[in-house]
Amino acid sequence: EVQLVESGGGLVQPGGSLRLSCAASGLIFSSSWMYWVRQAPGKGLVWVSRISPDGSTTTYADSVKGRFTISRDNTKNTLYLQMNSLRAEDSAVYYCTRSQRGGLDWGQGTMVTVSS
């Protein structure tokens, strides 16, 4: 069974930084495309970023390009999202997901709140 466990969320001031982590198990992590997806309170799902199995290819949504960085450590089966220059509109539950044939397996999410 695939397990994805996010951590690192919390309250941060506008302009601040936060790094999210996602520990993966039950899958061949080093062969998996990994994504981050977020959901603001009461709103829909929004794709944030993706990274190739070897980490050489990354893609970002326009709304986070230049501020967020996705990375991975295949030796630790862990996915990361470094979030800088955070804005109020970045407040959301952030989900770590594994892509397989276009379908996503989901973690339980970690809440990020950007507020002064």
Partner 1 sequence: QSALTQPASVSGSPGQSITISCTGTSSDISAYNYVSWYQQHPGKAPKLMIYEVSNRPSGVSNRFSGSKSGNTASLAISGLQAEDEADYYCSSFTSSSTVVFGGGTKLTVL
Q: Which residues bind partner 1 (CB under 8 A)?
A: 35, 37, 44-47, 50, 59, 61-62, 95, 100-109
- Taking the least distance from each CB to partner 1, the nearer of 14 and 57 is 57
Residue 2 near residue 105 (C-beta atoms within 8 A): yes
Are 69 and 60 within 8 A, CB to CB? no
* CA–CA dist 96, 116 (Å, integer): 26
**Cα distance between residue 3 and residue 69, in whole Å:** 23
Nearer to partner 1, 1 or 116 (CB): 1
CB of 102 to partner 1, least distance (A): 3
Minimum CB distance to partner 1, residue 6 (Å)? 10
Shortest distance, position 1 Cβ to partner 1, whole Å: 11
Nearer to partner 1, 14 or 70 (CB): 70
At which residue do the structure tokens 């979030």 appear?
83
